[in-house]
Structure 1
């Protein structure tokens, strides 16, 4: 027993000397705190979440500098549609509100900057798509749809409809709407006849295909220039026509700036149709 006690005493002395030599590199056993635990209702300190990135930052600086900003559009005032079995026909929405409408036709050119432009602009856009034009890459327009753009009808093959039979026109209009509905999850209810050419048969066939209204335009855009049918500025309610063409970026920015210069803001065309 004496030897054992002496061994334990020596061991304890060694441990004490090691502890003194190492200083704070050996942590003492934590002691139970006498302070009460924090209240369950107390708000913990949480770091603020970073602000969402500005979608404009995804654009080259020279494009950001050319893109105006807009206030949100006002609540829409609905138009009156015909009650005679035909689709409505509009080249301008009859409203005094300070709004204009951006519409883009066909779908042949698929610019890789389009989705970034749409997100950065953050304005309503209606895409009147021709089925044949988008058939090689329908996913491109699904990406544009994801930015908030809406998909509308521009026939299957882009024929001149005026003067054609009811059966021919109905095939092109109904077929376009049906195929676009399958591709994009929602069947269109708005229509633009190719080239704007139409007759009474066109509006009757469009109505029978579920199209509420068909549209012409007051301004067109090509190679970065806006061309006016009336006057030299965009007017309230005007429908502006673009196409998916090689100068798509310049055309889109030209439209935005023409609307901004007129003191208007882009609005959603569908919101004005009952």
Structure 2
């Protein structure tokens, strides 16, 4: 079982940028209707960006202390099958500033699947996360970022407000951009729980800092 008691090294801590305080949130209102909202970035001119971390398979012991040291909000889109070996690991991340949201039970391709199939995966994951962590998710990320109209209807019917894609991805300490060479205001950045978690997280922080932005909490920007 993974533990979350180990801390990052002094050189790793030295790589954490200092951020100004995030501005007061200016949330976007999800349009009324039978479907959840869909965003790869939040439309805003505020100098902010959003860190999101998916799945939960690799549970590096430094993560909680690293999040606490960075003192920035992050959103975890957790897959039930990935976290069930050690759900308490993510409680420690919550206590360090993370918010837990839904990412299905078994990480299937949802696009093209029936309403019943998608409902089981989406509602089922939100229900289980609510029982585990005392708060039912209000946001969702589909596996692989793939969705169809049924996905967004199911997300809405399962009581969640919005689903998310991304603008940047991170792996092995490298941030990759869909467009340009810098994080832009409102961008949603994707990480995963992988062996290079520490380097990935530090790379994301540095990219946000170099763009003159501050990490903000995604949940604060969805009304």
TM range (shorter): over 0.9
- The aligned residue for residue 20 of structure 1 is none
Residues 1:169 and 2:169 aligned together:
no
Residues 1:62 and 2:2 aligned together:
no
Runs of 4+ displaced beyond 3 Å: none
Residues 1:111 and 2:60 aligned together:
yes
1:61, distance to aligned residue in structure 2 (A): 1.3
Q: 2:182 aligns with which of 233, 237, 243?
A: 233
- The aligned residue for residue 85 of structure 1 is 34
Q: 1:243 aligns with which of 178, 189, 192?
A: 192
Q: Secondary structure at the residue paired with 1:227?
A: strand
Residues 1:155 and 2:104 aligned together:
yes
- The aligned residue for residue 184 of structure 1 is 133
- The aligned residue for residue 199 of structure 1 is 148
Normalising by structure 2, we get a TM-score of 0.96
Distance 1:78 1:67 in 2: 27
Residues 1:122 and 2:71 aligned together:
yes
Distance 1:146 1:181 in 2: 16
Of Structure 1 and Structure 2, which has the larger fraction of its residues in strand? 2
CA RMSD for the aligned pairs?
Answer: 0.7
1:80, distance to aligned residue in structure 2 (A): 2.2
- The aligned residue for residue 141 of structure 1 is 90
Distance 1:170 1:238 in 2: 28
Q: Secondary structure at the residue paired with 1:202?
A: helix
Q: Which runs of 5+ in 1 are unaligned?
A: 1-57
Distance 1:64 1:243 in 2: 20
Residues 1:208 and 2:154 aligned together:
no
Distance 2:89 2:76 in 1: 12
After TM superposition, the structure 1 = structure 2 runs for residues 8-19 of structure 1, keeping only pairs within 5 Å, are none
Q: Secondary structure at the residue paired with 1:161?
A: coil
1:59, distance to aligned residue in structure 2 (A): 3.5
Distance 1:107 1:72 in 2: 28
Q: Which has the higher contact order (CA 8 A, sep 6+)?
A: 2
Please give the per-residue CA displacement for 1:107-144, whole angstroms capped at 9, x wherever unaligned. Answer: 00001000000000000100000000000000000110
Distance 2:112 2:11 in 1: 47
Please give the per-residue CA displacement for 1:209-268, whole angstroms capped at 9, x wherever unaligned. Answer: 011000000000000000000100000000000000010000000000000000000000
- The aligned residue for residue 80 of structure 2 is 131
Structure number with bigger Rg: 1
Of Structure 1 and Structure 2, which has the larger fraction of its residues in helix? 1
1:85, distance to aligned residue in structure 2 (A): 1.1
After TM superposition, the structure 1 = structure 2 runs for residues 253-264 of structure 1, keeping only pairs within 5 Å, are 253-264=202-213
Q: Secondary structure at the residue paired with 2:170?
A: strand
Q: How many residues align?
A: 217
